[in-house]
Structure 1
Amino acid sequence: MHIALGVRSSDFPIDDFLDAPGKTDAVISVAADPAQTTTTHLAFSGNPKRRGGEWRIRDQYSHRHPAWTSSTGFPATYDPKNPPFILIFKVGKSFHARFAFEKQLLALNASRRPIGMPAANTGIGIAPTALLATFKVPDPSRFDAFLSQADIISVEDFDPKNISDGRKRIIAAVVRRLGQQAFRRKLVSAYAGQCAMTQCNTLWVLEAAHISPYRGLKTNTIANGLLLRADVHTLFDLALISVDPKKLIVKASRLLRGSQYEALNGRGLRLPAKSSLHPSAAALEYHFSQFHG
């Protein structure tokens, strides 16, 4: 069974939507639930010779995506009076699958639906924020936001003649990475000079990580910080690594599977000896809400 998505046009740039411009096939990872715990690949194929470039979702007969199964309420038989609509949302760089019955869509206020839905059976459009909330599609993660911004951030041309300036930039970058010194010194003392996740004790690579984003001196408190190894700090800032605020264990994103960082998943967070120096539960909950699981 294949599901037709429609033909590429200026109003329906499906290959751009799938990050596959100029291609005839694409495979994407699509989450089936708001927590992104059930994620499965979807295969798409485009036929440039058919109707000007038709795209379809493949393999939905024997490899049905978990968002469109009987366990989610997806119908086993087609009812032309109330057909199901397959919905694929793209938020940042992440994809999310849902479905809705036609009557459910018609019951929504018109401002909650993309223009043309449900009259049009195929196509894409800008999904209003209210529609995302209706289907519990999560906001962009920090990692999605990073990828979106990284695509447009310009990179300075390298000038090999300006070695002196290059040295200054390197030194300044190291100082920034070490964090605000007073904040870092407090965390080094609280965590006895060891990374809270890896137990690395090489001070030169240990950094002061903010749990909730830095917003002035008031956020430079031990309760809003963790002492982390530099590479883990980067992944923590991108929310590819986080901390379960209830169990106080490290969580590593599925995007890190197969890497050395996968071993951190499930590891207990190393806490300061004094409970008064432990990280804020509220700050950990905020960061975990941004986790790209």
Structure 2
Amino acid sequence: MSNNSKELSVFSAYVADLLEEKADQYNQPEFIPHDPISIPHRFTRKQDIEIMGFWAAILAWGQRKTIINKCLELSQLMDNAPHDFVLNHQESDLKQFLNFKHRTFNATDTLYFLHFFQDYYRQHDSLEYAFSSHLKKGDVTVENGLIGFHDLFSDSENFPARTRKHIATPLRKSSCKRLNMFLRWMVRKDDKGVDFGIWNEIKPAQLVCPCDVHVDRVARLLGLIKRPVTDWQTAMELTASLRSLSPTDPARYDFALFGLGIEGFATPAILPVRK
């Protein structure tokens, strides 16, 4: 074996061990209170978890404390019973949402989300169908589910053009980090108590790792990503690298990459950066 091959072998082993260690460290209940996933953890009813989990994921940009506070505000506006509210609210109940805003997400977006939820949950028991019904036999990832959900979400004469930017799709080359994070919450199953694992039609093996700024930076340092830009293909490249470590649960390492990013991880100088 050449010196270069030996160096890459050592580095690959280092990466695998590091990701395993950090995934175990951060995939713990202590992770919950300071993360947007704490919002759906306030509920026990499946539909409430779905609705508030979806909203928490979509609003997840900026400081985590602010994200959590805005989601709590939304929950309070729905009387802390989101499923009951979206099914049964009247027109007069919507006035209180006119002042809701988080960054570029405003009242127009909020009202359409409520419209979508009401229309959808009057026909379906779970939000999973909105994604899983678009998957095809043999799909390795949730790509078709994300594309289909985007089209379903926007398929209304009341759909505001401005709201499209809040629901990503691979067809626009987005990394879909927020939707992938939401799917991780709903789909992944383990005994750690962080992710919910309440959906069954989508398999953990099909999940795509959310590619946020922390994950992206650390993944590049570890040689898990080579693509120079961050888009859907980058998320797929990262997930393929992680699938080589865990074919049935690649998104598990989202905990590790995100945690390392928060820690300010830098590649040790004694090991080569994989090219």
Say yes or no: TM over 0.5: no
More strand by share: 1
* Greater relative CO, 1 or 2 (CA 8 Å, sep 6+): 2
TM-score by length of 1: 0.28
Structure whose CA Rg is larger: 1
